[in-house]
Amino acid sequence: MRRPISANTPVRGPATARAQGFYAGQHVPGTPPEFPDAANLTPHADGLKDWTQDDFVRAIREGKRPDGRELNRFMPWPVMKQMSDTELAAIWTYLRTLPPVADKKKS
């Protein structure tokens, strides 16, 4: 059975995800090469280092980065925006526990 597509979700648990640098932006498994890479969500300068929780919630609810640029529609924020404030706060809190990791393409 094929795994469901997961851009940022660990497939073998958080410890493995951290060790392998998941969440640091990478090609979304199972998608064509021309599809955009998922974003670096770690607290690295290549990722969300300067973002606040409000920035994060706005990105998920409105599909916009702090500078106002729209996210590529491949990031499924129109569905994810249905998450509650509590759920988004929980995800943000988790993302802030990740070690900062540079983008793979740049390292």
Q: Check the CA dihedral 44-89-36-72 and report its sign.
A: negative
Q: Which is nearer to ligand HEM, 6 or 19 (CB)?
A: 6
3 state SS of 55: helix
Q: Which of positions 51-80 make contact with ligand HEM (CB under 6 A)?
A: 56, 59, 65, 71-72, 74-76
Does 16 contact ligand HEM by CB under 6 A?
no
* Contacting positions for ligand HEM (CB under 6 A): 5, 7-8, 28, 36, 38-39, 41, 56, 59, 65, 71-72, 74-76, 91
